[in-house]
């Protein structure tokens, strides 16, 4: 391995270690002080946990990610020459990153207020749309998908993508370790896919996000002692949604088909959100009315324990997204095969779920929610 590669690995390891340590520490403090701030997820309604759980994990994630990224940016002049020569590129992209972090922070504040005061879903959705629009107006938009190169059409797709993933992760936050576990896998897959095509800035940011989530999982794995709450799930979804747009997935001489990497990596969160909305509409209910129709809840209804359901979803996310690591080397036929593989995987999942529905399990019947599973009375743009 050449010296620059070794330097990159060491720098990445340092960033990840710092983010993990800070996240773990802040989460421990959140567990101690969040109850005094009224940040508690109390049992009742659709929720399955038996005792109040602190909700300060989202704040810990937010502080960790912003602190480590700020420190890394300030340390650029002190870095070795093999890294310092990339400083100009990092500074050139820092404007987009600052804008994304600012809007993601606004979304975090909205989630924090929702954790405290249970905001109306219309307010939350309007805030998400507004922040996504600001990101787009700042120049962050989809530009690599054929006809979507048109600024207006690309901007509309970008807003829909960011808002959709914000809500997808918010919906996914319904079992211990689920949203953070999927977020960890997604961050690492995006980091690897972008590094494979020669990008450095975005992979470094995603590595920090992954390490912060790993530190949070120390306190959030089943049985959870800390939840990220709406503050964390909305912040995470908005941040990852924006980073997938601003990230570089293709550059010469690599294949242009790597631009579909985000669809592969985010297939499971999007599947969960889409299936839940379709089920609720089919039953004549509002898509924002919380229930136990999520992918994870359906797996539990099929006979899995909550922990098994969480690991199943994490592994399906990994399996469906690993193809993104190969796209930069594939031609059109190869990319089509990878897309078909992910589609077949989700198709198998859907067939198994339909067979459960025919047996009457998870198809409108009320069941006692096992420990480790939780859901709120309203979601889609709220808390799950």
Residue 380 lies in a domain: no
Pseudo-torsion of CA 140, 141, 142, 143, nearest 10°?
A: -90
Nearest C-alpha neighbor of 235 from the set 212, 218, 217, 214? 212
For residues 177 and 166, what is the distance between their CA atoms, to the nearest angstrom?
17
The encoded tokens of residue 332 equal 């059109």
Residue 297 lies in a domain: yes
Residue 4: per-residue pLDDT: 44
Q: For residue 378, what pLDDT band results from cuts at 50, 70 and 90? A: very low
What residue numbers bound the domain in which 136 lies? 8-358
Residue 366: per-residue pLDDT: 34
Residue 239: per-residue pLDDT: 96
CA of 304: how far to CAs of 104, 107, 276, 296, in Å?
34, 34, 19, 9
Residue 382 lies in a domain: no
Residue 364 lies in a domain: no
Residue 165: count of CB within 10 angstroms of its CB:
26
Instruction: Report percent pLDDT > 90 for the chain.
Output: 47
Q: For residue 2, what pLDDT band results from cuts at 50, 70 and 90? A: very low
Residue 105: per-residue pLDDT: 97
Instruction: Tell me: pLDDT of 377 over 60.
Output: no
- The residues pairing with 40 across neighbouring beta strands, listed in sequence order, are 54
Query: Average pLDDT of the chain?
Result: 83
Backbone angles phi, psi at 254, to 5 degrees: -80, 165
Q: Which residue has the higher pLDDT, 365 or 211?
A: 211
Residue 260 lies in a domain: yes
Lowest mean pLDDT among 70-74, 94-98, 134-138, 255-259: 255-259
**pLDDT one-digit tens code per residue, 212-224:** 999 999 999 989 9
Residue 286 lies in a domain: yes
Residue 252: per-residue pLDDT: 57
Q: What is the pLDDT averaged over residues 160-164? A: 95
Instruction: Tell me: pLDDT of 97 over 80.
Output: yes
**pLDDT one-digit tens code per residue, 319-335:** 999 988 888 888 889 88
Residue 363 lies in a domain: no
Backbone angles phi, psi at 187, to 5 degrees: -60, -45
CB 313 within 8 A of CB 178: yes
For residues 287 and 293, what is the distance between their CA atoms, to the nearest angstrom?
11
Residue 371 lies in a domain: no
Residues in the chain: 384
Question: How many structural domains are present in the chain?
Answer: 1
Say what the pTM is. 0.87
Q: In this structure, what DSSP letter does residue 290 have?
A: -
Q: What is the pLDDT averaged over residues 362-368? A: 39
Instruction: Report percent pLDDT > 70 for the chain.
Output: 80
């Amino acid at each position: 391995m050449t010296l620059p590669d070794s330097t990159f690995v060491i720098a990445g390891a340092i960033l990840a270690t710092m983010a993990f340590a800070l996240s773990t520490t802040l989460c421990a403090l959140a567990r101690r002080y969040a109850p005094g701030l009224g940040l508690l997820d109390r049992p009742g309604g659709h929720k399955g946990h038996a005792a109040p759980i602190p909700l300060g994990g989202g704040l810990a994630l937010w502080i960790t990610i912003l602190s480590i990224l700020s420190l890394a940016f300030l340390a650029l002049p002190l870095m070795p020459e093999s890294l310092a020569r990339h400083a100009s590129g990092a500074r050139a992209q820092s404007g987009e990153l600052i804008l994304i972090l600012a809007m993601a922070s606004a979304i975090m504040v909205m989630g924090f207020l929702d954790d405290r005061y249970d905001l109306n879903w219309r307010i939350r959705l309007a805030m998400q749309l507004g922040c996504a629009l600001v990101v787009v107006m700042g120049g962050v938009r989809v530009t690599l998908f054929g006809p979507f190169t048109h600024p207006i059409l690309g901007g509309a797709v970008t807003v829909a993508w960011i808002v959709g993933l914000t809500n997808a992760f918010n919906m996914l936050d319904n079992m211990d370790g689920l949203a953070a576990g999927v977020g960890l896998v997604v961050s690492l897959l995006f980091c690897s896919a972008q590094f494979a095509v020669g990008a450095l800035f975005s992979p470094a940011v995603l590595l920090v996000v992954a390490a912060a989530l790993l530190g949070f999982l120390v306190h959030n794995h089943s049985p959870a002692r800390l939840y990220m709450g709406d503050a964390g799930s909305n912040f995470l979804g908005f941040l990852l949604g924006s980073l997938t747009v601003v990230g570089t997935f293709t550059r010469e001489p690599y294949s242009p088909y790597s631009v579909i990497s985000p669809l592969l990596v985010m297939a499971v969160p999007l599947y969960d959100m889409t299936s839940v909305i379709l089920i609720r509409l089919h039953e004549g209910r509002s898509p924002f009315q919380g229930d136990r129709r999520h992918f994870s809840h359906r797996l539990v209804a099929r006979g899995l324990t909550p922990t098994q359901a969480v690991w199943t979803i994490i592994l399906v996310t990994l399996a469906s997204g690993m193809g993104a690591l190969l796209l930069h080397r594939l031609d059109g036929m190869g990319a089509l095969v990878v897309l078909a593989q992910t589609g077949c995987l989700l198709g198998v999942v859907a067939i198994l779920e339909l067979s459960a529905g025919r047996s009457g399990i998870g198809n409108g019947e009320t069941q006692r929610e096992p420990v480790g599973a939780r859901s709120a009375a309203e979601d889609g743009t709220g808390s799950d």
